[in-house]
Every structure is written in structure tokens, then in C-alpha cells.
Chains A and B, each alone.
Chain A
Amino acid sequence: MTSTRRSGAPASVLAPQEVVERTLAAGSHLHGCAVLVHETSEAVLRWANSTMTTNGHTTSGRVTVIAFVVVEGGTAAGVVSSSAAVTHVGQLEDLVRAAEAAARDAGPARDAMPLVEPDGDDPGWGDPGAETSIGVFGSFAEGLSEVLAGPHRQYGFASHEITTVWLGSSTGVRRRWVQPTGSVELNAKTPDLAGSAWTGVSTADFRDVDVVALAAEAARRLSGGSGGSACPRAGTRRCCPRPRCPTS
């Protein structure tokens, strides 16, 4: 069994690889079992009216257990997840029990398929989760402060998220994947809010983001009228319909 511990984590927290193995051991009586451990590290920055509004650096995690059981008429699946840090094996046994119960309550699945078999070792399996930090916005914030001092009203959102996922299954699959996700969206408006232009870019690490250039592109559209959208205020019919809430 692998028992890598995350660097910097207190000894009381189980490493993701250990979570996978111990969960599969707790579910060894099942027809099949799959475990997903997600660790997400995210830094965000939001601004409006040319000043920062909200920000944050968050570390969250999730353990998802998928239990497969044989029931009358076929195979049933139950899915249970928890975002609590795993500090004792009893939590994992509870998740397995809950997933098994959910499967039995659900009845046979029409789309049941056999679990995939492993196709080789994953050399990164034992590595710890990857993390971002607020420092990812270091040079970006410098550029943004220059943009915010400009003549337009600035609105936007920058987000950098790194998710590490460990997947283990009762058929022997052990895979780890690191997914960086980053983006900036910048919305410049004229002071009277009558003109609005949007620019955005995706990025893996923010080193390639030139926010001054992004803002210049938005300003070019605002002044040139090529692609900028006039958005009249209330009183004009059917302007910018974009219902968002609630989503029921």
C-alpha cells in the first residue's frame, strides 16, 4: 500500500493515496467500487467599479465513493461524496456503507457497464496534490492597478484553480491527474455605463496574461465601436436579456 503524506499537512490527515486504498479495502465485499479523491486549490480576484470587491485563496477537497452491487435485475450504483478532511478510517467506512445503501435503494441501473481494467502504472500516483497561491496574481495585480486607474469603469474576474484527482478502482486502476484551470474576464464600460466591451483569456499559470493589453483591447472596442455593445439603461425594451436567477 502506498502511504505518501502530503507535505505540510498535519499527521492526522490521511494522504489521498491512503484514502483510496483504505476505502477500497472497506468496500472489498462489494461487486465493484471506485474512489475519487479531489483536492482543489483556488485563488480568485474580482473587481467592479474599478476597485477590488472580493478575493480568496481556498483549499477544498472531496472524496467520492461509487459502490456497485448486484441486485435483482442487474447491477446498481450508489454515489456518496464528502468534503470533510479524512482523519480516520471510520469516515471512509461510513462513506462505503452509505454508497452501498444508496445503490440498494436505487435499484438496477439501465446503463450498467463493467469497470475498466488497469493499463499500466501511473508514475505520478504517489505524488502530493499541486497547489496555487495568491502569489499567482503578483504581476497581474500590478498590471491591473494600472488598468483600474484608467478612464473606463472596470469590472472583471480572475481565477486560478489547480485540481489534483486520484482515481482508484476495485479492478486495480490507480491514476492521478493535475488539472490547472485559469481565466481572466475583463469588462470595460464607459463612465455613463452606456458602452460596454468584454475581453477574456484562458491561462494555465497567469505568467502569460497581459492585463494591460487586454484592457487596451477592450478600450479599442469601446472607442472604435467595432464590437462594443451599447447597452441602454432601463426604459428600453429587451436589452441584454440574461435571466440568471433562480435556476429552478
Chain B
Amino acid sequence: MAVDRIDPEFRALPLAALADAALARGRELGAQHTDLRVERIVSQSIDLRDGTVTGVADSTTVGLAVRVIVDGVWGFASHVELTPARAAATAERAVAVARTLAPVAIERVERAAEPVHADAVWVSDYTVDPFTVPTREKVELLTDWSQRLLASDGVDHVQAGVAVVRENKFYADTAGTTTTQQRVRIDPTITATAVDRAAGGFETMSSLAAPAGRGWEYLTGDGWDWDGELALIPELLAEKTKAPSVRAGTYDLVIDPTNLWLTIHESVGHATEYDRAIGYEAAYAGTSFATPDQLGTLRYGSEHMHVTGDRTVPHGLATVGFDDDGVATGEWDLVRDGVLVGYQLDRTFAPRLGLERSNGCAFADSPHHVPIQRMANVSLQPDPVRDTSTDELIAGVDRGIYVVGDKSWSIDMQRYNFQFTGQRFYRIEDGKLAGQLRDVAYQATTTDFWGSLDAVGGRSTWLLHGAMNCGKAQPGQAAPVSHGCPSARFRGINVLNTQEEGQ
């Protein structure tokens, strides 16, 4: 028999009684749909500077949320108290919200159907729950990493940290779906800084490790080679401090997955969020150039561009069994053969595209926030036929730059004009790497950039990266999301010299 990995403290909550109370009251008050979410989110962050702890913060968020549809109008309410009486009272409040605000609900809610998922349980893929590891042990590991870097010549400061989250969600709705889920995620960071006191400047080098839907085992070697990377960082940093500044101009780029994930996030992930594309975020997070009238026709990029949305990839930060609409998750195409073919949807948006089912992108970051359409894991697929290596992509470039690791970025409201920097940049000469460069930013429009994609690497170059804190909505909600991609080659991209641009 499978071991129940759901946190016993969450299991001990009166989940079924809360659901009965909330759903019954919603029904009594005339709601056509009622759903209840109970959440318990435990998080911890630890930060060190130069091997000394600067902060340890633990927090727990617990609450219940009730969502109703009354006469085609949404109502939402939440409360911190987990008692059946409070669950029923919260359902009453949600109904009152819907009735009070009905005059401003010009559109009536219509939702895609979803099969009933009764008593479903889903737990993310991890080995060691980070909350079973003593804080002192975590601090000792980060201290050891910091001291290894500080012991190297040329490293003046080290910042290290880790954030861990365990998220439990219970969902029940009037259709009969009941899901209990648990996700664990972890975000380790370490950055070495070299200070040039003579010239008055500094340079940094950060780990390329991604935040991941993994447990503490991620920091002890499962999924990332920390020993290997920590040994390399000082010399990579030293080389960067001495590297020549890039000459601005047009270059062919080979972009490593550790950098390309963020470009995918900003220029494809956000642009294919349906709520943005129809203007729901026009006054805040922004819109999208990729509007639904262009679905099936917009030439997003070259024929090598195949981008999927999924909430299923192992260790993905957006991976979950069922979304906050009670929809079983899956994988689907967003861009196929370079053409826009799909969006990220919830149950309200699916019918507007004529689809019978949602693709499962509803998410709320807290029991006190309403679920909205949030980003799935949006990933560029590798070459399906040939396992082309990064070296082979580089070998196909006469004069170019190999870009590794993400750093800063800028993109406009429509997700169209952008620029990205990185952790390190290597000159490519006649198909070979020829030392690091500094001060590189690449700049393009989304469709020019993806149109210049002339080769993607194979499965062996594919890597899952991501971010813990993608922001959207008012009140603001943060969502974790991963992006997988292979190394990829782009022809004729405009490269800026960031020092010259800053003059």
C-alpha cells in the first residue's frame, strides 16, 4: 500500500466537515456553483552574507476560501478560522459579494465542464521534505558553500541563501470533485562578488542552479552538481573580471538553457496567457501582442519553434495534479511549427476559444486570494530527431556569442520589445569558444528573435529552469513556474554594450 505522504497536520484539519458546511450553505443560498479550498503553506528562508546568517524567517499561511457563482456572477470570500461554522459563514459572505457586485458584472460566467475527480490525492516528486531538516543543518551547508568560495583568491564577498515551501491544498466543489495535494519546492542561491578597489568596480558570478519542485536532496547533489559548480565559480569570476567589453553589433547567439528560460518566460509564457491577451491585465501586469484573433495564423517564430504548456513535468514549479478549478492537468501546444496555436486557460476562458475543456491553469497563491489564470510550465521542445549538442550548435557559428545564465531583463507591456543580459558570455570564433566577454545585452522583438531561431539542441541539452515569484493581478499574487528548453541558436541578433548604453 502506498504511504500517505500528505502532511499529517494538514490531514488532521476537519477538511470534509469544512467542505460539507461551505458547499451546503452555498447551495441553500442559491449558488449554482460553490467550491472550497483549504490551504496550509509553510515556508522558510535562510540568508547568509560572507558565511554569517543575516536572516532566518519561518512563516505559515493557513485559511479557507469559498468561491461561488450566483446568477452568473462570481463571489469570493476567505477566512483564517478553520471551523465548519466559519466555512458556512464564509460561503454566506461569498454569496453576498456576488449579489452586491452583480451590477458591475456585465458578462455572465460560463465555464467549461470537467469530469468529477472524487477523493483524488496528488503529491509532487521529492525525496526529503525540507521541513524535516533542522535549520542548523541547513545553515551549516550554506556556511560550508560560502566558505569554499571565500577561501578562493579573488572572491571578496559571498551571498548564499535558500527558500523552501511546502504547499498543501484541499479542494472540493458542488460537482463532487475532492482533491488533496502537496507540493514541495526549493530555491537555493549563491553569488560570489569580486571587488576591484583600484578601479572602483565589481563583478559577480552566480550559481546557475534553478529553483525546482524538489526536496532537500537537491542541495546534496540530486539534480545539481554543487561541488563541481562551486569549484568553478572563482575561476569563472576571475576570468570575467579580466574579460574584454563586447563590441556592440549583430551576432549569432547560442543561448544556454540557463539563460533562454527567462526569455521564454517573458516573451512566450506571458504572451500566451489568455487573460493578458484579452486585456484583463491591461491596467497592471500588461497585455500581449499575440491576440486571440491571430490564433492559428500568427507567425511567432521559425519552424524549429515548438513550445508547449504543461503542469505535469517532473520537478516543474507549476506542476500539480489538479488546478484550483478542480481540473486534471496535462500538456498542450502553444506554438507549433512556429505558429501560435494555443493559450493558457482556466475553465472560464476555455469556452471563449470554443474548447470543451480547460487546460488547467487556475491558481491562487494563498487561501486569501481568488484563483486566476496563471502560467503553466512553458517549455521549448528539443530537436525531436537528432540529439544535437551545444558544441555542435556553437560549431555552426563563425562570429557569435554563447550566453549562459540569466541576470537582468526588460520587456514592454505587450511582451514584444525586449533585452536580456546574462551571467557570462563567451566569444565564438570560427565555431569555437574564445574566452569571456563582458557587458553584453541582446535586444530584439519577440517575433524577430524567434524567427531567427535556426537550430535547437537535442534532448541531452534540455534543462528545466524557472522562477519562484512570477507576479500578476491585484491584489498581487506570486506564482512559481518552470521553463524547460534545449540550447538554441539564433542568427543575426542585435547585441548592445551595456556600459556604452549606460553612458
Contact = CB atoms under 8 A, between A and B. Distances in A.
Interface of A: 9-10, 12-13, 42-61, 78-85, 98, 101-102, 105-107, 133-135, 137-138, 141-142, 144-145, 148, 153, 155-157, 159, 185, 187, 189, 193, 198, 231, 233-235, 237-248
Given A58-B368, A60-B63, A246-B470, A52 B78 contact: no
9 contacts: A48-B280, A48-B282, A55-B74, A59-B79, A80-B57, A105-B56, A134-B101, A233-B289, A234-B445
Contacts of A187: 282-283
Given A10-B85, A12-B83, A155-B279, A55 B75 contact: yes
B36 to A, nearest CB: 14
A245 to B, nearest CB: 5
A45 B369 CA distance: 12
B475 A159 contact: yes
Contact of B286 (A78, A79, A233, A242): A242
Interface string B453-479: 000000000000001111111110010
A159 B98 CA distance: 16
A248 B467 contact: yes
Contact of A58 (B54, B78, B473): B78
B96 interface: yes
B53 A105 contact: yes
Given A83-B62, A244-B285, A56 B97 contact: yes
Contact of A80 (B59, B417, B473): B59
Nearest to A149: B106
Contacts of B203: none
Given A84-B80, A85-B80, A242-B412, A54 B285 contact: no
Interface in B12-58: 40, 52-58
Interface of B: 40, 52-63, 73-83, 85-86, 93-94, 96-98, 100-101, 103-107, 135-136, 139, 265-266, 270, 275, 278-287, 289, 368-370, 372, 409-414, 416-417, 445, 467-475, 478, 481
Contacts of A13: 81
Contacts of B58: 80-81, 98, 102
Contacts of B282: 48, 155, 187, 189, 193
B59 A82 contact: yes
B478 to A, nearest CB: 8
Nearest to A48: B280
Contact of A234 (B86, B106, B284, B414): B414
A51 B86 contact: no
Contacts of B285: 244-245
A70 to B, nearest CB: 17
4 nearest CB pairs, A to B: A234-B289, A246-B467, A155-B283, A51-B106
B468 A46 contact: no
B63 A83 contact: yes
Contacts of A57: 76-78, 93-94, 96-97
Contacts of B86: 10
Contacts of A141: 100-101, 103-104
A55 B73 CA distance: 10
A240 B93 contact: no
B283 A54 contact: no
B413 A83 contact: no
B78 A60 contact: yes
A185 B282 CA distance: 13
Contacts of B139: 105
Contact of B474 (A79, A157, A193, A231): A157
A118 B46 CA distance: 33
Contact of B52 (A49, A61, A107, A245): A107
Contacts of B270: 245
A119 to B, nearest CB: 30
Nearest to B414: A234
A145 B103 contact: yes
B33 to A, nearest CB: 15
A247 B57 CA distance: 19
A43 B289 CA distance: 32
Given A59-B78, A239-B412, A243-B409, A52 B468 contact: no
Residue of A44, A137, A198, A246 contacting most chain B CB atoms (<10 Å): A246
Nearest to A239: B412
Contacts of B75: 55
Given A57-B76, A106-B56, A239-B417, A247 B471 contact: yes
Select the residue from B62, B100, B287, B468 with max chain A CB neighbours within 10 A.
B100
Contacts of B445: 234-235
A142 B100 CA distance: 10
Contact of A54 (B74, B286, B289): B74
A244 B282 CA distance: 13
A84 B41 CA distance: 10
Given A42-B475, A234-B289, A248-B469, 8 more contacts: A10-B81, A52-B101, A79-B57, A80-B59, A84-B60, A107-B53, A189-B282, A198-B283
A83 B77 contact: no
A156 B469 CA distance: 23
A148 B370 CA distance: 22
Contacts of B94: 57
Contacts of A238: 412, 417
Nearest to A8: B89
A45 B101 contact: yes
Contacts of A102: 56-58, 135
Given A52-B104, A239-B414, A105 B78 contact: no
Contacts of A247: 469, 471, 478
Nearest to B138: A105
Contacts of B96: 57, 133-134
Nearest to A81: B59
A85 B62 contact: yes
Given A50-B106, A148-B106, A241-B411, A56 B470 contact: no
A227 to B, nearest CB: 16
B135 A105 contact: yes
Contacts of B474: 44, 46, 157, 159
A248 B468 contact: yes
Contacts of A234: 289, 414, 416, 445
A197 to B, nearest CB: 11
Nearest to B371: A54
A187 B370 CA distance: 22
A135 to B, nearest CB: 7
Given A237-B417, A239-B417, A241-B410, A145 B368 contact: no
A247 to B, nearest CB: 5
A45 B467 CA distance: 28
